[in-house]
Amino acid sequence: MPKILFLAFTLFTLAFATAGERRFYPCHRLEQPPLIDGKTDDEAWQNIPEAAGFYIFGVTGKYAVEEQTCFKAGWTADALYFTVCSDESSPEKMVALLKDGGDLWMEDSIELFIYPNGAPAYAHLLVNSLGSRQNKLGTMNWEAKTVVGENNWTLEARISFSALTRPAPQEGDEWAVNIARNRLTGSGNERCTSWPLLETGFHDLPNFGRFAFKGAAGDRKIAEENEINQKYVRDLAGKITKCIGLAPEYEKDLSGLLKLENGWTEAETLLKEWQRLRNEASRTDADYRRLAKLCNDLSALRQKSDDCIARGIMETLFGK
């Protein structure tokens, strides 16, 4: 029988961030305000850096693997802007029925927490994938639109500083911010994720991330994305490195299945996929988008094996 690789697979899914980590995002002044239509291709967003790597709440330092979430943010003289892209392989299963004012945290939704300097409390805004809004601002003087695609859903929002009852920030100011996601379509392990690493829930103000308000982004996008996502990239690369170590044993076991007289077409398919992923993992570039997709594919190998004749063998390999 193949070796039991459950421990190794468990190591593959672990990250090593520490509680209390404070994440920073350079929030640049937008050269022009984007059209709030739920799409992320507006020219205003093109040179704005993207932040990725949402943490799973309740599991210290573990990044989401099943579906990725990323965001961009910027500001003008009168408003703060967000765009959030949530990967979703099963958009038809998303739960979004409630209208404005409903308990949107119970559905597939994004939660935005904004705590301006000097404010008596932070603003808490929610938008479900349907585009319905909920907030504690006492005003609906803010906009949000969503678009559901084939493999993701996107949110675009404009929150006026008047709605936050605070003046516009100055360059150099920092505000506490949390961007969080509720996802109901998965296994439940990654139902609640957030950009900052939280300890007590989405309202864990001491561990919110920080937005550092800056001038126009200029040509710094790539350099800033590398800096913002550096730790996330290291984590993804570490997971892939561990999986490369499993490749010889995995391929040997699958090759053995191919020799059985019943055929094992499923094992042949999995073997080809594993070899493809191993080749991808051997590349030297460290783009977090590609690495995140690769880790998602590696994580999905077990789900694919659960649907094939070799289910028992695969469970021995990866653990039940």
Domain of 84, CATH number, reads 2.60.40.1190
Contacts of 283 (CB under 8 A, 6+ apart): none
- Is the same domain home to 216 and 238? no
Task: Give the separation between CA 306 and CA 286, rounded to whole angstroms.
Answer: 30
Query: What is the Cα Rg of the chain in Å?
Result: 21
**Residue 209 domain flag:** yes
Number of separate domains in the chain: 2
**Residue 5 domain flag:** no
**Residue 3 domain flag:** no
Q: Bridge partners of 85?
A: 70, 154
Q: What is the pLDDT of residue 239?
A: 74
State the CB neighbour count (10 A cutoff) for residue 300: 14
Q: What is the pLDDT of residue 301?
A: 62
CB contact at 8 A, 124 and 133: no
Q: What is the pLDDT of residue 197?
A: 95
Q: What is the pLDDT of residue 113?
A: 96
- Is the same domain home to 141 and 252? no
- Is the same domain home to 34 and 160? yes
Closest by CA to 129, choosing from 159, 102, 106, 95, is 95
- Is the same domain home to 186 and 238? no
- Is the same domain home to 177 and 58? yes
Task: Give the separation between CA 68 and CA 110, rounded to whole angstroms.
Answer: 13
- Is the same domain home to 122 and 31? yes
Q: Bridge partners of 175?
A: 211
- Is the same domain home to 179 and 301? no
Contacts of 136 (CB under 8 A, 6+ apart): 123, 124
**Residue 15 domain flag:** no
Helix (H, G, I), strand (E, B) or coil at 155: strand
Q: What is the pLDDT of residue 3?
A: 31
pLDDT along the chain (320 residues), means of 10: 29 36 93 95 95 91 89 97 96 95 96 93 96 82 95 96 92 97 89 96 96 96 92 82 68 67 64 72 70 70 51 42
- Is the same domain home to 209 and 163? yes
- Is the same domain home to 159 and 284? no
Query: Residue 115: enclosing H or E segment and its boundaries?
Result: strand 109-115
Q: What is the pLDDT of residue 108?
A: 98
Q: Which of 161, 191, 220 is the last residue of a domain?
A: 220
Q: What is the pLDDT of residue 316?
A: 44
Domain range for 209 is 21-220
Closest by CA to 82, choosing from 145, 162, 14, is 145
Q: What is the pLDDT of residue 310?
A: 43
Q: For the chain, how far is it from start to end, CA to CA, in angstroms?
A: 16
Beta strands 209-214 and 69-75: pairing type? unpaired
Closest by CA to 32, choosing from 217, 206, 266, is 217
Distances (CA, A) of 164 to 135, 142, 270, 292: 11, 9, 52, 34
Q: Which of 158, 190, 220 is the last residue of a domain?
A: 220
Q: Which of 157, 185, 220 is the last residue of a domain?
A: 220
